[in-house]
Every structure is written in structure tokens, then in C-alpha cells.
Amino acid sequence: MLNSFKPTWMVESIYQISPEQLKKQNVKAVLADLDNTLIAWDNPEGTQATIQWIETMKKNDIEVIILSNNSKKRVGKIARILKLKFVSRGLKPLTRGFTVALNLLPYKKSEIIMVGDQIVTDIRGANAFGIRSALVKPLLDSDAWNTKFNRFIELKIMNYLIKKNPDMKWRNSLHDPIRK
């Protein structure tokens, strides 16, 4: 059961994922979590690093869609700044938000990856939906109040998964997938 929380890859930061790595894995679209993945949860404007990463993806024909559990107002604001499509109130780990995002894309599930900082929502949801995933470290060590409980649960699950899967290690790029 806990394998449903196991990511395909573990990468230090979303900004270390390059178009070349994605193309090597036949990925044409990235579903990106917003808070503490694409932007720091306490910086709703994003950073230059965020803007550069998005522009690099666009120049290389990799579509990025924000998939967040946050409100339409919050997600829509950053999506307008970054000129990205978005799905708010995605209800991750349920698959509803993933289905909505897939319907915005001309790609198959096998050509999509979910990138997020939480195994309880992002990775579990991607696994339930049947797409690959990359777990990234949160951009900040602090979290919004509503995420702190998830982090407590995640620590227990991650400790178990790492003990059972020694190949689960943080990397600085998409590498060979973690064995299932």
C-alpha cells in the first residue's frame, strides 16, 4: 500500500529538471504543483528562477500546467503572471484535477509527468491517475499551516519507503527511474 506514495524520480528542485531530460523520457507536458514546488508558498509573485524555468520549457515545446489544491484566486494570479494554464482546487490525491489537466492537453498519460513536493497529495495522486512523477524538495523549510500535518505523515512514509528502497535518493536531475 505504501508503494502508492513512491515517486518515479526524486529531484532536488523543479528548476533542475531540463527540457532535454524530459524529452529523453518522452515527456511533453509537466503538471506542476504550485506552493513550495514552482514558487515559495509565501511568495505569490514567483521569482526570476521560476520565470526562466517556464520560459525554457516553453521554448522547448514542453507545456507546463499548474495543478494545485489551492483556490482559483491564488492559483489564477500566478498563472496569469507566468502565462500558464491551471487547475485549481485539484483535490489531490484524488484524480479529478489530473483529469481536468489531461483534458487541457493533446497528450497521452505516458507523455505527462507530475512534479510536486508532497508525496501525500502530488505523488499519490499521480500514481492513482497512472502517470509518472517527480518528487522535489520544498523550496522553503516552512509551510502554510494546512500543510504541516501532511509533512508529519510524509516523514513517516518516506522513512519507510527509503528503508525498503535504497535506490530512493535525491538527485540533481531526472535519472533512471526508481525501481518499483
Q: Global pTM?
A: 0.91
Q: Which of 13-22, 39-48, 72-81, 162-171 has the lowest mean pLDDT?
A: 39-48
What span, in angstroms and rounded, lies between the C-alpha atoms of 95 and 83? 24
In a domain, 179, yes or no: no
Nearest alpha carbon to residue 117 among 179, 41, 169:
41
Tens of pLDDT, residues 161-175: 999 988 899 999 987
pLDDT in tens, 77-91: 999 999 999 999 999
What is the number of structural domains in the chain?
1
Residue 15, domain CATH = 3.40.50.1000
What is the reported pLDDT for 90? 97
How many whole angstroms separate alpha carbon 161 and alpha carbon 92? 20
125: in domain: yes
Range(s) of the domain holding residue 104:
2-164
In a domain, 180, yes or no: no
Q: The sheet that has 63-67: what strands, in order across it?
A: 9-11, 132-136, 112-116, 29-32, 63-67, 85-87
The answer to whether position 172 is within a domain reads no
CB atoms within 10 A of CB 157: 17
The reply to whether 62 falls in a domain is yes
